[in-house]
Amino acid sequence: MENGIFICCFFRISDVQTMKINQTILKEFILVGFSLYPYLQTFLFVVFFCLYLLTLSGNLAIIGLTWVDRCLHTPMYLFLSALSFSETCYTLTIIPKMLTDLLAKKRIISLIGCGLQMCFFLGLGGTNCAILTLMGYDRFLAICNPLRYPLFMTHMACRKLVASAWIAGFFVSVIETALIFRGSFCSPNLVKHFFCHMRAVVKLSCLDSELTEFIVTVISVSGLMGTFLLIILTYVFILSTVLRIPSAEGKQKAFSTCASHLTVVFIHFGFASIVYLKPETSGGDDTLIAVPYTVITPFLSPLIFSLRNKDMKNAFRKVLGKTVSLNNLGLLLHD
């Protein structure tokens, strides 16, 4: 009988030790990233690096032109420059680390670094959604309530709305990140992604990962779909107002002011919905599916807003003309 108790206690102690070994507290993660495609890494580095430079150039150009040209000191361009700044920070959170890992042998990120990257990624993504919603609201007021528009959309009101977008985005991201990092993480420490994506990290949690993933996904999808439905609702009112405009020229002008924004909205929310609403797949598929949302969308956004905007083109020509004139004046003085 005593031998039986001793053997039982021995196995229980062994089980506890095994659980402790399996639940080793991790202090760093290894990002699998594009290591699944070793022959493509140099090519991917060149492509992503070029896209990153173009994205930075486009967003910084929008911010600079809005700051310099007084003709662009309007609510619409204030929201656009706020979106460009948010997307610049968004790409800084993900792409430099991704580019480094494409050339590095060790793709390690600390636990704190992973949490910060996730928090900023989710916060800036939520901020982008909120600012796109504000841009839709701005177009709604300008077209549906043109007489009240100057009263509602003052510069102070725009600044408060942009600040609210940042607060809302990071309020949600802090909650999501805290839920994921509230416990320890178990081995193995392989994150099957090129950054600390919440669905990849939450699977390593020693706690109930399925429940945590469900809660975080519900929060993300609710925010994503909520802002998207608000934008669609504003465009329903805009469409009903535009259709009542008697002149074809007036309709075309109204639609042209909304075309760029609506295009970016469908690209942004379309790629985001694929990431968050897709069923469970392998890590490699997750990596490839996230590329459009993290790399291509920030690249297309300033391109669409710049190419389809006459005021932005005119501002660029003015700045370019002033630069050429100053250069010519400098050459004359030098001679």
Tell me if 333 is assigned to some domain: no
Mean pLDDT of all residues in 78-96: 94
Instruction: Give the mean model confidence (pLDDT) for residues 93-122.
Output: 91
Q: What is the mean pLDDT of residues 98-126?
A: 91
Mean local confidence (pLDDT), 126-134: 95
pLDDT of residue 247: 76
How far from each other are the two terminal CA atoms of the chain, in whole angstroms?
A: 107
Residues 6+ apart with CB under 8 A from 176: 118, 122, 198, 216, 219, 220
Phi-psi region of 205 (alpha: psi -120 to 50; beta: other; left: phi over 0): beta
Domain count of the chain?
Answer: 1
Q: Which residue has the tokens 């949302």?
A: 293
Mean pLDDT of 228-246: 89
How much is the pLDDT for 320? 67
User: Does residue 88 form part of some domain?
Assistant: yes
The single residue listed with the structure tokens 């609506």 is 262
Asked, for residue 14, whether it belongs to a domain, the answer is: no
Would you state the pLDDT for residue 186? 80
For residue 234, pLDDT beyond 60: yes
- Computed over every residue of the chain, the mean pLDDT equals 82
C-alpha triplet 108, 113, 117: angle, nearest 5°: 110
In contact, 133 and 227? CB cutoff 8 Å = yes
Q: What is the mean pLDDT of residues 86-111?
A: 91
Q: How far apart (Å, rounded) are the C-alpha atoms in residues 251 and 244?
A: 9
Of 166, 286, 175, 253, residue with least CA distance to 220: 175
pLDDT over 80 (residue 255): no
**pTM summary value:** 0.85
SS3 162: helix
Extended strands (E) in the chain: 28-31, 108-110, 190-191
What is the Cα–Cα distance from 122 to 316, expressed in whole angstroms?
A: 32
* 244 phi/psi in degrees, rounded to 5: -90, -5
Q: Is residue 11 part of a domain?
A: no
What's residue 331's pLDDT?
A: 47
Answer whether residue 335 is part of any domain. no
Asked whether residue 19 is assigned to any structural domain, the reply reads: no
Q: How do residues 270-299 score in pLDDT, each as one tens digit?
A: 888 877 776 654 444 567 788 888 999 999
Segment 69-95 mean pLDDT:
91
Give the number of other Cβ atoms within 10 Å of residue 99's Cβ: 17
Residue 332 domain flag: no
Task: Quote the CA–CA distance of 287 and 94 in Å, as a whole number.
Answer: 13
pLDDT at residue number 37: 80
| pLDDT, average across residues 121-134 | 95
Q: The domain spanning residue 283 has which CATH number?
A: 1.20.1070.10
The reply to whether 230 falls in a domain is: yes
Band (12; pLDDT cuts 50, 70, 90): very low
Query: Can you give the residue range of the structural domain that contains 51?
Result: 25-324
